[in-house]
Amino acid sequence: MNHPSSIKHKGKTYILDRQATAQLKRKKAAAQSRTAELDEPIKLYIADLGAYNAGKLVGEWIELPMEEEDLNAVLKKLSRDGQGDYAIHDYEAPFSIDEHENPHKLNELAEKLEDTHVPSQVIFCAINTLGIASDDWDAAITSGADAFVLEAKDEDDLGYAYLESTGGSIADVDPEGYHFDYDSFGRDLRIDGYGYDEDSEDPEEDFTKGMSDQEVGEHYVEGMGSVAELGQKTIEMYFDYESLGRDLAVDFVQCDDLYISFS
């Protein structure tokens, strides 16, 4: 019986559970560690600028949304009844906030986010990439509601995240083996001694000498007939997620660690 991460060729077993298996395990672990919840609460640290300029740290953390009356009270206190200025000196949010951002506008956004299931990162990405006015939250929310969102930091991650989210199999996505990693496959074959034919006139001669790892992988697959003949485990192990992600990326925009396809 074959090792779960092995293939046979001319009666010889080649063990393939090296770098490719480790890489696949890392991808699965990363996917399992992703949180399903994209949003974070919006928190602001409002500082009294007059006190700050005098060398004192005076301020208050607030969490949005909050009642306008309560927000006005905080801003009034930290601006000395409107006689001074305040600024946002720190924040916790899934998007960037300038120190001079209007807290009332942010509170309005927080209220809208509370009433929608569209993550704020997606809304801001819609504004930044689709030409939507920066205060047209309704248009941004509408665009985000129909978006296909994947958590991925790069094209390699995007390929894996796409397969995970759609539930599709590699065979369905890549029936012709276009995204098969021949280079890594050929490297591992070579490590395990592929290239020496015991039935040849000179069994000590490496018939892959002069070939690149890519060519070794292609030579083996050609002899098998197709990538499909390698078996599902081997195909999964050597699937080139970055290649798939690169093809998918043309239909996505990247915003931080999200790839988003807007309808």
Cβ atoms of 228 and 177 within 8 Å: the answer is yes
Model confidence at 15, in pLDDT bands (50, 70, 90)? Answer: very low
Model confidence at 113, in pLDDT bands (50, 70, 90)? Answer: confident
Cα–Cα distance between 180 and 184 in angstroms, integer? 9
The owner of tokens 């397969």 is 163
Instruction: Over range 156-172, report the average pLDDT.
Output: 88
User: pLDDT tens digits, residue range 22-63?
Assistant: 455 555 555 444 433 455 678 999 999 989 999 999 999 999
pTM listed for this prediction: 0.65
Domain with CATH 3.10.20.480 in the chain: 42-146
Burial class (CB in 10 A: 0-12, 13-18, 19+), 118: buried
With a CB cutoff of 8 Å and minimum separation 6, the contacts of 37 are: none
Q: Which of 5-9, 103-107, 163-167 has the lowest mean pLDDT?
A: 5-9
User: pLDDT tens digits, residue range 198-223?
Assistant: 555 555 677 788 899 999 999 999 98
Tokens (6 digits) for 72: 């006005």
| CATH superfamily of domain region 42-146 | Antirestriction protein ArdA, domain 1 (3.10.20.480)
Work out the number of other CB atoms within 10 angstroms of the CB of residue 141.
Answer: 21
Model confidence at 1, in pLDDT bands (50, 70, 90)? Answer: very low
Q: Which of 21, 31, 29, 2 is nearest to 181 (CA)?
A: 21
Long-range CB contacts for residues 18-22, cutoff 8 Å, separation at least 24 = 18/188, 18/191, 19/184, 19/188, 20/181, 20/184, 20/185, 20/188, 20/237, 20/238, 21/237
Cα–Cα distance between 4 and 233 in angstroms, integer? 7
